[in-house]
Amino acid sequence: FQNAWVYRGSVVQCNRYFAPGACTGLTEPINNFEAIPPKDKDGNKTGEKVFVLCDRHCKGYYHWTHEQLPRLGIMYDRLIKDPTITITAPAKGMIMQYLTILGFPKSQVRDLYKKATSDRYPTAFYKTVYYPQPMRCGSILAPQLFLIRKIMFERLSLEAVRTKPVDKENMLVVMADRRDSRQPRNSRNITAMLKARFPNVEFVSHLGKDVKTQITLFNRADLVIGPHGANLGNIMWCKHGATVLEFVPIKTGNLCYYQTASKLDLQYRMLMVPLAIDVAHEVP
C-alpha cells in the first residue's frame, strides 16, 4: 500500500481498511482510530517503509507462533536485505526474542501496541506499507508453516526430519506444562509415575526456559505431553515423526494442535478430560 496509517494490526487509507484476519477477525475495532497528520511529535515524517506483522492478539504465544510469526516468512529475505523497513511488533519479551533469533535488531522494530492514551493506541503514517497474507484463526497455513520452519532451522542449525529411529529406552519427553488452571491437578503424580515406569527416559519441562532453548528442546523431543493451550504451540518446531499427547477438554476443546501435528506428520493422540477448558482437572 502507498500512503497509509498503521493502527495496531490494521492498515487504514482514506477509502479502505484492511484487518489482519486470524483470531482478530476481519473487523478489528477501530472506533478510536485517529487519522493523525503524517508527522510525529518532533515534526518528522513517521516513516518511509513498514512491515505490519502483529495484530492485537500477538502477545499470546499461540496466536504469535501460529498466526503472526508465519507471515514473517513471506517477507523475510527483503526485511533482512533492507533494514530500513520497520517491523511493527511488541519490542520486548518472547516476541523480541524470536525476532532477535531471526536476525532483526531492536532498532528495526516499532512498538505500536502500548496505549497512547487510556482508550487509544498509537497511529503511525508510512509512505509504503507491506501487508502479508492474513492468517486463519486456530489453523496455521501449511506453506507458511514450512517456510518459517525452514528459516528458523537454518538460523539455529536444527533438523526437520529424524535421521535415526527412536530409542524407546532413551527417549526425550517434553512435559509441556502450564502455570494456570488448565494444568492437571495431578500433573506431578503423572510425571513421577512416568519416571518410575521409564527410568532411562529423560523428562524435561519447558517452563522457565527462553525461546531459543524451547525451540531446540521441542525439536529434540521424541514425545510431547501437555494440556490444551499455548504451551503446545512449540510442537511446530518438532521433527517429523515425533509424538504429541494432548489433554483435551471434552466440552470446549478444539483441534488446532491436531491440525498443526497433521501438517507436520506428527503422531497425534488426545486424552479427553471431562471438564471445560479453563477448569482445573485431573488426568485419569
Exposure pattern of 22-47 as b/e (b: 16+ CB <10 Å)?
A: bbbeeebebeebeebebeeeeeeebb
pLDDT reported for residue 283: 60
- The answer to whether 112 and 121 are in contact (CB under 8 A) is yes
Which of 78-92, 94-108, 213-227, 264-278 comes out lowest in average pLDDT? Answer: 264-278
pLDDT reported for residue 163: 82
Average pLDDT over residues 66-83: 93
Q: Which three cell numbers stand for residue 147?
A: 517456510
- The answer to whether 244 and 259 are in contact (CB under 8 A) is no
**3-class DSSP state of 267:** strand
Average pLDDT over residues 204-227: 93
Domain ranges of the chain: 2-136, 172-273
Average pLDDT over residues 268-276: 80
Taking the CA atoms of 272, 274, 276 and 278 in sequence, report the sign of the dihedral they define.
negative
pLDDT reported for residue 270: 92
The topology (CATH level 3) of 172-273 is Rossmann fold (3.40.50)
Full-model pTM: 0.87
Question: In sequence order, what are the residues at sequence separation of 6 or more whose Cβ sits closer than 8 angstroms to the Cβ of residue 9?
Answer: 19, 20, 24, 28, 52, 54, 55, 56, 58, 88
